[in-house]
Amino acid sequence: MLASFLQGLALLFAVALISQDYRDLEKNTPLEKLTGYPNYKSVGKFKGLFQDGKAAPWDLHIIDYFKLFGATPRARGYRPNQPIKFSHVVHVQKLKLDCGYCHWTATKSPYAAIPSVETCMTCHSQVQQTGIEEWDVEIKKLLDYYQKGEQIPWVKVHVQPAYVKFNHEAHIRGGVGCHECHGQVGEMPVVERASSMKMGWCIECHRQRGASIDCYSCHY
């Protein structure tokens, strides 16, 4: 019985890796397509599993990778296409915008809200011609949304299940920098998941900082 159990796991593991590749091919845009961006080395797709968060290779949460079940990918390197190819590289590195300028609620409430269309338009009502064609195309998209008065359907990258209560305000007040969970977003042409954000990964940090590891501080 034990043997068959292990066999089963091995099988799952194999399928997982295959489906992982398959998913990457389908979902992620190859980098060379994104011309005009500084080249950026993607985090390997397996690292999400091994290199952080104490996740063991035989951990059954490997299931999270399954295309089969249509589960939201929760691994490092998850990099879906966005309705607008918004580049943090440009806005953070070139324009030196602070995270808090757009994600202003992060310091005021549990949620770090995605900025409203109007927030974008505070600048882009002026900035519409950049000279770089690829960029203007994207800005055009924004303007269209604005004219139509529609919200922009961004694709969520840092998915947490509903039973996890993560309070951005509390963490920022506790001196946790944005990058510690979200990685160097400033260097990402397309936002991707920089950490697996699995429980063990949270706990590790909580332990290091002497924060509460009572289940009730996140799950209720």
Least Cα distance to 195 among 206, 182, 207, 185 occurs for 182
Measured from the CB atom, the residue of 25 and 162 that comes closer to another protein is 162
Q: How far is the CB of 61 from another protein (least distance, A)?
A: 5
Q: Are 57 and 13 a contacting pair, CB within 8 Å?
A: yes
Measured from the CB atom, the residue of 28 and 134 that comes closer to another protein is 28
| Residue 75 CA, distance from chain mean position | 9
Measured from the CB atom, the residue of 73 and 189 that comes closer to another protein is 73
Measured from the CB atom, the residue of 15 and 34 that comes closer to another protein is 15
Measured from the CB atom, the residue of 16 and 34 that comes closer to another protein is 16
Q: How far is the CB of 70 from another protein (least distance, A)?
A: 5
Burial of 43 (0-12, 13-18, 19+ CB in 10 A): buried
**Alpha-carbon span 137 to 128, nearest angstrom:** 10
Q: What is the DSSP letter of 29?
A: P
Q: How far is the CB of 157 from another protein (least distance, A)?
A: 9
**Alpha-carbon span 43 to 121, nearest angstrom:** 32
Q: Which two tokens stand for residue 152?
A: 């922009």
Q: Which two tokens stand for residue 145?
A: 């949304």
Measured from the CB atom, the residue of 90 and 102 that comes closer to another protein is 102
Q: What is the binding site for another protein (CB under 8 A)?
A: 1-2, 5, 8-9, 12, 53-56, 58-61, 63-64, 66, 68-72, 80, 105, 108-111, 113-119, 149-156, 159, 161-165, 167, 169-170, 173, 196, 198-201, 203-204, 214-217, 219-220
Q: Characterise 211 by phi-psi region: left (phi > 0), alpha (psi -120 to 50), beta (else).
A: beta
Q: Are 19 and 68 a contacting pair, CB within 8 Å?
A: yes
